[in-house]
Chain A
Amino acid sequence: MATAAPRAHRQSLEWPVLVSVLCSPQNYPLYIRSVPTENELKFHYTVHTSLDVVDEKISAMGKALVDQRELYLGLLYPTEDYKVYGYVTNSKVKFVMVVDSSNTALRDNEIRSMFRKLHNSYTDIMCNPFYNPGDRIHSRAFDNTVNSMMMQVC
């Protein structure tokens, strides 16, 4: 573990976004992409936990007077090392992104526009007649969008 830690850190500097995940309305994954690291399982765990927060946020929005009806949910929860952001489309597809805490270049607005980009790309996939809604996403165009997003130099 002692050797793994600095390596993970170095990677995180090169990769501002560590994980991006799309989940169906039933909470099974449609797409997972994470930085190549041995901690992948931990990321999956983090994302999985965050889905509960997403659900909570949506249901709270339904009854509360809070007129925060944006698709972007903002910061779901910060941990010591990561920040987890969420986004839910009107069709209840959940997008989750995990970002390194030490990265201060990524502000709320940047994250929001990244989610927008993801959503645009996802819409294109939904409108592809050869894609079955609910299937795992295997699309080169989508891969490219995510790649460019994750490796974007800040």
Chain B
Amino acid sequence: MADEALFLLLHNEMVAGLYRAAEQGEGENGRCTTKLESMGFRVGQGLIERFTKDTARFKDELDIMKFICKDFWTTVFKKQIDNLRTNHQYLAFTCGLIRGGLSNLGIKSIVTAEVSSMPACKFQVMIQKM
């Protein structure tokens, strides 16, 4: 589908643009990742608001994680996440996306991603108990 490619390009350019801006300015690398992550966070919040509009109320955290893994994931990534060309900076936005989604459902979390073998990516979601 055409829109998929557009989003991919937009995401690529977002990352590239931020890093380019950082190279010209004085901002260091770490700040770019934070910025991307927070952009993802906001998008995740909005998306969750839309996706959960017609779903039943969630019973508990497990229910929420199930929703994130099934509905949220397939809507956002269509297929497997594999097809994003991954390296660490590219995943900052995605981590934020998940964190934002969870936060809007009342779960505080830390999301990290790691790429051990190239076509696969592991997301680790740590839930902070309140």
User: Is the A/B pair a real complex?
Assistant: yes
Measured in the bound complex, the distance between the Cα atoms of B60 and A61 in whole Å is 10
Q: Answer whether A126 and B46 are a contact pair too, CB < 8 Å, given A90-B52, A91-B105, A119-B53.
A: yes
Cβ contact of B57, chosen from A61, A122, A123, cutoff 8 A: A61
Measured in the bound complex, the distance between the Cα atoms of B56 and A61 in whole Å is 12
Contact B46 A127 (CB under 8 A): yes
| Chain B residues whose CB sits within 8 angstroms of the CB of A123 once the complex forms | 49-50, 53
13 A-B interface contacts by CB (under 8 A) = A88-B57, A91-B45, A91-B48, A91-B49, A91-B52, A92-B106, A122-B49, A123-B49, A123-B53, A126-B45, A126-B49, A127-B47, A127-B49
* Most chain B CB atoms below 10 A, which of A25, A89, A120: A89
For chain B, residues 73 to 88, give those with C-beta under 8 angstroms from any C-beta of chain A: none
Does A149 belong to the interface (CB within 8 Å)?
Answer: no
Min CB gap B36→A, angstroms: 15
Q: Answer whether A120 and B53 are a contact pair too, CB < 8 Å, given A69-B59, A91-B48, A133-B45.
A: yes
Measured in the bound complex, the distance between the Cα atoms of B63 and A43 in whole Å is 36
Min CB gap B38→A, angstroms: 12
Residue tally, chain B, CB below 8 Å to A: 18
* Most chain A CB atoms below 10 A, which of B46, B59, B105: B46
| Chain A residues whose CB sits within 8 angstroms of the CB of B55 once the complex forms | 90
Measured in the bound complex, the distance between the Cα atoms of B45 and A129 in whole Å is 11
Main secondary structure of the interface of B (DSSP, over half): helix
Contact A127 B56 (CB under 8 A): no
Range, interface on chain A: 10 to 19
| Chain B residues whose CB sits within 8 angstroms of the CB of A90 once the complex forms | 48, 52, 55, 57-58, 105
| Chain A residues whose CB sits within 8 angstroms of the CB of B49 once the complex forms | 89, 91, 122-123, 126-127
Which residue of A has the minimal Cβ distance to B63? A69
Contact A70 B42 (CB under 8 A): no
Does A71 belong to the interface (CB within 8 Å)?
Answer: yes
| Chain A residues whose CB sits within 8 angstroms of the CB of B45 once the complex forms | 91, 126, 133
Measured in the bound complex, the distance between the Cα atoms of B58 and A70 in whole Å is 10
Measured in the bound complex, the distance between the Cα atoms of B103 and A25 in whole Å is 11
Contact B106 A91 (CB under 8 A): yes
Nearest 8 A/B pairs, CB to CB: A90-B52, A69-B56, A126-B49, A127-B46, A69-B57, A91-B104, A123-B49, A126-B46
Which residue of B has the minimal Cβ distance to A92? B106
Cβ contact of A129, chosen from B42, B50, B53, B59, cutoff 8 A: B42
Against B, the Cβ 8 Å flags (1 = close, 0 = not) of A110-135 are: 00000000011011001101000100
